[in-house]
Amino acid sequence: MQIPWQDRPAGSKAPMWRYSENPIIPRDLLPDSNSIFNSAVVPFGDAFAGVFRCDDQNRRMTLHAGFSKDGIHWDINPETIKFDCDDAEIGEWVYGYDPRVTFIDGRYYVTWCNGYHGPTIGVAWTTDFKTFHQVENAFLPCNRNGVLFPKKINGRFAMLSRPSDNGHTAFGDIFYSESPELQFWGRHRHVMAPAPFELSAWQCLKIGAGPVPIETPEGWLLFYHGVLRSCNGYVYAFGSAILDLDEPWKVKYRSGRYLISPREIYECAGDVPNVCFPCAALHDETKGKVAVYYGCADTVTGLAFGYIDEIIQFTKETDIQNV
Ligand code: BMA
């Protein structure tokens, strides 16, 4: 399995670098798409599949399945995903955005921000990216950024989430929850809060889990977004944390510096300027490489690359957790 990759640019010492051909998915890939961003991809067979946030030109937030041979060029279904659900009340579509996809024991689980009297975490599974079976929403509204761990922890499904409000939430901590069967959730634990402004301003307003955490010998590598409020509005960047393998609500290290912050024109100009919002990562265990997919300015999708051991090193060296 060849993940998308490009070597670090000559002269760069950055722990992550952008793909030179960003954005990889333009806003108008579909006939009626306004924007395609904050989307999730996974290895699928000998290629890749994903669930994409495609806002249409009515500015409705919808989810679409997509397929790719190389992880860079995507064929996205113009039809929205229609979730099968035994309970009509839960299955009634209101809106859905910011999907994540997690492979656990033969099924691809989709979690997304699902409209149900406010945003909450919708959950569904598929084996083929054609039929999607929706189960209960994980939490009460309002909640966003629900991200499943790729394996059961203490014998249960485990999810990170970020309780919020119904608007452009000006606060937000990451929490951890467990479920025996993806219906009843409990054992809620606090993971981390926004950072003190004096220590790390890019993540001082709110934070939220990004891609599915990656298991490493040092702990779970979590990419997460952090938000800063500037005189021109919110700025979304992302950094990294290492969570304990057995008790993932315990943060071992947390990067004081961001990995990627809006800088390129496609991250700074768009429907919502100054947003880098990661929702997926592909990694190559043998080569230690990772490719992170992130939404750019709520408009297009970009890719950034790095080496897992260097990102872990960076997280330790810039750590604010143990300050
Ligand atoms: C968050 C979510 C994301 C979005 C971000 C910036 O609240 O809505 O989808 O990328 O705001 O607008």
- Predicted confidence pLDDT, tens digits, the chain (323 residues): 799 999 999 999 999 999 999 999 999 999 999 999 999 999 999 999 999 999 999 999 999 999 999 999 999 999 999 999 999 999 999 999 999 999 999 999 999 999 999 999 999 999 999 999 999 999 999 999 999 999 999 999 999 999 999 999 999 999 999 999 999 999 999 999 999 999 999 999 999 999 999 999 999 999 999 999 999 999 999 999 999 999 999 999 999 999 999 999 999 999 999 999 999 999 999 999 999 999 999 999 999 999 999 999 999 999 999 99
Give the C-alpha separation, 165 to 177, whole Å.
Answer: 19
In which order are the strands placed within the sheet that holds 33-44? Answer: 33-44, 47-56, 61-68, 75-76
Counting beta carbons within 10 angstroms of the beta carbon of residue 261, is it exposed (0 to 12), middle (13 to 18) or buried (19 or more)? middle
Counting beta carbons within 10 angstroms of the beta carbon of residue 122, is it exposed (0 to 12), middle (13 to 18) or buried (19 or more)? buried
Is the model's pTM score more than 0.95? yes
| Cα-based angle 143, 139, 294 (whole degrees, multiple of 5) | 45
CA torsion, ordered 164, 81, 38, 197, to nearest 10 deg: 10
* 119 residue type, one letter: P
Atom of ligand 1 at shortest range from CA of 275: 6
Structure tokens at 44: 């699928």
Ligand 1 centroid vs 97 CA: distance in angstroms?
A: 9
Atom 9 of ligand 1, residue of closest alpha carbon? 98
| pLDDT for the residue numbered 1 | 75
Atom 11 of ligand 1, residue of closest alpha carbon? 168
Question: CB within 6 Å of ligand 1 — which residues?
Answer: 38, 97-98, 168, 236, 272, 275, 277, 295, 298
CATH class entry, domain 22-322: mainly beta
Dihedral (CA of 113, 118, 124, 129) sign: negative
Half-sphere exposure at residue 235, Cβ-oriented, CA atoms within 13 angstroms = 16
Domain ranges of the chain: 22-322
Counting beta carbons within 10 angstroms of the beta carbon of residue 231, is it exposed (0 to 12), middle (13 to 18) or buried (19 or more)? exposed
Ligand 1 centroid vs 218 CA: distance in angstroms?
A: 30
How far does CA 168 lie from the centroid of its chain? 18
* 199 residue type, one letter: L
Ligand 1 centroid vs 153 CA: distance in angstroms?
A: 29
Atom 10 of ligand 1, residue of closest alpha carbon? 298
| Cα-based angle 266, 270, 271 (whole degrees, multiple of 5) | 150
Ligand 1 centroid vs 155 CA: distance in angstroms?
A: 32
| pLDDT for the residue numbered 253 | 98
Ligand 1 centroid vs 53 CA: distance in angstroms?
A: 11
Please provide the DSSP assignment of 49-66 as one string: EEEEEEEETT--EEEEEE
Would you give the DSSP letter of residue 22? -
Specify whether the CB–CB gap between 38 and 27 falls below 8 A: no
